[in-house]
Amino acid sequence: MISFAECSARERLALLLDAGSFHEWLPPVERVTSPHLAQLGVPSAFDDGVAIGRATLDGHTVFVAAQEGEFMGGGVGEVHGAKLVGLLQRALRDRPAAVLLLAESGGVRLHEANAGLIAVSEVMRALLDVRWAGIPAVVLIGGANGCFGGMGIVARCADFIVMSDMGRLAMSGPEVIEASHGVEEFDSRDRALVWRTTGGKHRWLTGDCDALVEDDVAAFRAAAIAAIGASKPLTLAALEAEHALLASRLHALPADNAGKDEATLLWSALGIVDAQRVPELGVDAVRAMRTIN
């Protein structure tokens, strides 16, 4: 068993895809790097923190991108985002069996300001175009930096999300919530709280991810193979059903929740028995507890 969380982006590509099948576009030797970071005194990376290319997965041709969380927290800068968009647009032309995104990102790389924000919005648009073309977009989340901000939104635009219990998925990250709403609202240093509210088990139980796996590269590979045919309809009806699900969740929490753990209350409200045991249970046990289809 090899920890997905502990691998670099390139190690994940080497281990998750069919051996030796990854063909990279704009590889590091091309030196397509950030035009902004050096001006701020920040070193660039030769791949701007993301590797893109084609590969085979269980014999199927797939397009794949892997974000490197150790470089700028996986932040999406101008070039990083353009590489993702280019990959997705090429998928429209070449029609691979699926597009895989090994996401590990804090969201927009704030050093690149508007260029990063625009890049993320372009990624969202391109990803939805790929889905509209009937090509499944599959996001894999298991890196130590999680998947937050704009990339959290990108992930939820996809057809299928695979998470490990180590993985985290949300919009605002813990520090952002604490900075804007105070430590009484959210203590970002309370790791158990962070995982109860953003971690893979929580996302599985609330229906925000589609597969929950162990922190194991082989488990991610198996889930990715299973997801190749997972295209979901991109329709107004599907969007409205999603909104209805989110609206009902907003009202699921009991009004009298002062001093109680809200994640546990929500799981209970969703009909999960022994909700307070979720944090201590293993992935297999939690997988069996889901009440949402």
Q: How far apart are CA 103 and CA 154, in angstroms?
A: 9
The CB-of-114 to other proteins minimum distance in angstroms stands at: 21
Do the Cβ atoms of 106 and 149 come closer than 8 Å? yes
Residue 73 vs 150, nearer CB to other proteins: 73
- Angstrom distances, CA of residue 132 to CA of 60, 128, 129, 175: 20, 6, 5, 35
Residue 44 vs 231, nearer CB to other proteins: 44
Q: How far apart are CA 206 and CA 184, in angstroms?
A: 24
**Which amino acid is it at 288?**
A
- Angstrom distances, CA of residue 17 to CA of 11, 27, 52, 100, 213: 10, 17, 13, 10, 17
Q: Which residues contact 63 (CB under 8 A, 6 or more apart)?
A: 52, 53, 54, 55, 87, 88, 90, 91, 94, 96, 98, 99, 100
The CB-of-42 to other proteins minimum distance in angstroms stands at: 7
The CB-of-259 to other proteins minimum distance in angstroms stands at: 38
The CB-of-20 to other proteins minimum distance in angstroms stands at: 12
The CB-of-221 to other proteins minimum distance in angstroms stands at: 22
The CB-of-9 to other proteins minimum distance in angstroms stands at: 8
Cβ–Cβ contacts within 10 Å for residue 236, how many? 8
Strands (E), 1-159: 23-25, 50-57, 60-67, 98-103, 137-141
Residue 45 vs 213, nearer CB to other proteins: 45
The CB-of-31 to other proteins minimum distance in angstroms stands at: 8
Residue 44 vs 206, nearer CB to other proteins: 44
Residue 113 vs 292, nearer CB to other proteins: 113
Query: Binding residues for other proteins, per CB under 8 A?
Result: 8, 10, 27-29, 38-47, 68, 70-71
Handedness of CA 85, 91, 92, 94 (dihedral sign): positive
Residue 43 vs 229, nearer CB to other proteins: 43
Residue 28 vs 207, nearer CB to other proteins: 28
User: Nearest 5°: CA angle at 156, between 250 and 128?
Assistant: 130
In angstroms and rounded to an integer, the radius of gyration of the C-alpha atoms of the chain is 19
Residue 31 vs 189, nearer CB to other proteins: 31
- Angstrom distances, CA of residue 150 to CA of 62, 128, 156, 186: 24, 14, 10, 20
The CB-of-33 to other proteins minimum distance in angstroms stands at: 9
